Structure 1
Amino acid sequence: MANYGPSYGSLAENQAKIAGKRSTDLDREAQEWIEAVIGEKFPNLPYDDALKDGVLLCKLINKLQPGSVAKICTSGGGFKLRENVSAFQNAARAYGLPDAELFQTVDLFEKRNIPQVTQCIHALGRYAQKKKFNGPTLGPKMSDGNQRQFTEEQLRAGQGMVGLLNDGMNKGASQSGQNFGLTRHI
């Protein structure tokens, strides 16, 4: 991890905002879910340090989607361990997570945005439920689409209705008066 020194100005404000978003309850829930899915306890390290090398994340995605990460590096320098995090991200994207739910490698590896990492794990838990994963669950179930089918007759009947934002809301407005569009003389 790089040594950046103290932050000042807007950078310090942004870092304080990110730190304020962190919830130890959400971190704990994510940790407990990962432990239940992979079947092993976190090492005796803080949450973010245990996830830092990406090994646990790769094991997690391999449980959800077997074979997602072919090779997990357990030793080597920072570059090799960052490959684990990158492999997890690619596998999570292939699993269905949108890019907005993922985190950047530096968010975890340099502890820049741990709340985003936790959000990604919770999103993965929601997607696992949607994909009918037969294991522990994390968070609420994602809603399914509720497509409606209307007949031509129903669609035609709706065209004759007064819309709230069209004619129904401005019946009493002064736009129908005779001075609309004219300049006012003072």
Structure 2
Amino acid sequence: MADYRAGKAGINAEAQARINSKYNNDIAQETLEWIKQITGENIKTDGDADNLYEVLKDGTLLCKLVNAFQAGTVKKVNQSTMAFKCMENINAFLEAVVKLGVPAQETFQTIDLWEKQNLYSVVICLQSLGRKAGNFNLPTLGPKEADKNVREFSEEQLKAGQNVISLQYGTNKGQQSGISFGNRRQM
């Protein structure tokens, strides 16, 4: 994280505090333990935000994680600690997780991790990846992913549905008293 920047103030500080309040140490710890199990790396699995940041900030562990899913997913993992090389690793991880099936809305932006701005979204992304692990014969993380429930309707059923009036349109039973156009409202 860039230590040379001034802290956020005013509404920005409030927004950052709201983002930080969503972070859960227990879920982060569970996520780090899962990463340790998949990658075989000896990492500290404390769920504290500072620890999560230290473990993941250079992106090398994230690249090893997606390569455990599918070998060669991230072809070049930068070992350099230079900022742009670390951010390349994080970006390569993000591109890989989308290819592995994580919905784009459950990913994070590189800056969220690199500048420690939204570690909650980082954990959400890793949890989503953990649900996909079962598709690759790896231990899963979190709740089981739902199966598709595809429904097929005949042409006759589709036509019958067009004749049904939705309850969103209201009801035709009774009358709404007191509502008429042109009259004044009595107070």
TM range (shorter): 0.7 to 0.9
In structure 2, give the amino acid aligned to 1:4: R
In structure 1, give the amino acid aligned to 2:41: E
Q: 170, 173, 176: which one pairs with 1:174?
A: 176
C-alpha change, 1:32 and 1:185, in structure 2 (3 Å) is: closer
How far off is 1:144 after superposition?
2.1
Partners of 1:16 and 1:161 in 2: how far apart?
Answer: 48
Partners of 2:168 and 2:155 in 1: how far apart?
Answer: 24
Partners of 1:61 and 1:185 in 2: how far apart?
Answer: 67
C-alpha change, 1:80 and 1:165, in structure 2 (3 Å) is: closer
In structure 1, give the amino acid aligned to 2:182: T
Which stretches in structure 2 are left out of the alignment for 5+ residues? none
In structure 2, give the amino acid aligned to 1:143: A
Contact 2:132/2:140 (8 A) holds in 1? no
Query: Which stretch of the first structure deviates more once superposed, 112-121 or 75-84?
Result: 75-84
Give the secondary-structure state (helix, strand or coil) at the position aligned to 1:79.
helix
Partners of 1:12 and 1:162 in 2: how far apart?
Answer: 49
Kindly provide the CA deviation profile for residues 147-178 of structure 1, in whole angstroms up to 9, marking residues without a partner as x: 212234434444555543346x3422338x9x
Structure 2 matches for 1:23-42, cutoff 5 A? 23-42=24-43
Normalising by structure 1, report the TM-score. Answer: 0.85
Query: Residue 136 of structure 2 aligns with which residue?
Result: 133
Query: Which stretch of the first structure deviates more once superposed, 107-116 or 156-165?
Result: 156-165
How far off is 1:114 after superposition?
0.6
Partners of 1:7 and 1:157 in 2: how far apart?
Answer: 58
Give the secondary-structure state (helix, strand or coil) at the position aligned to 2:94.
helix
Q: Percent same amino acid among aligned pairs?
A: 44
Computed over aligned residues only, the root mean square deviation of the Cα atoms, in angstroms, reads 2.4
Query: Residue 148 of structure 2 aligns with which residue?
Result: 145
In structure 2, give the amino acid aligned to 1:70: K
In structure 2, give the amino acid aligned to 1:134: N
Query: Which stretch of the first structure deviates more once superposed, 141-150 or 31-40?
Result: 141-150
Structure 2 matches for 1:30-109, cutoff 5 A? 30-42=31-43, 46-109=51-114
C-alpha change, 1:151 and 1:6, in structure 2 (3 Å) is: closer
Normalising by structure 2, report the TM-score. Answer: 0.84
Which stretches in structure 1 are left out of the alignment for 5+ residues? none
Partners of 1:109 and 1:170 in 2: how far apart?
Answer: 58
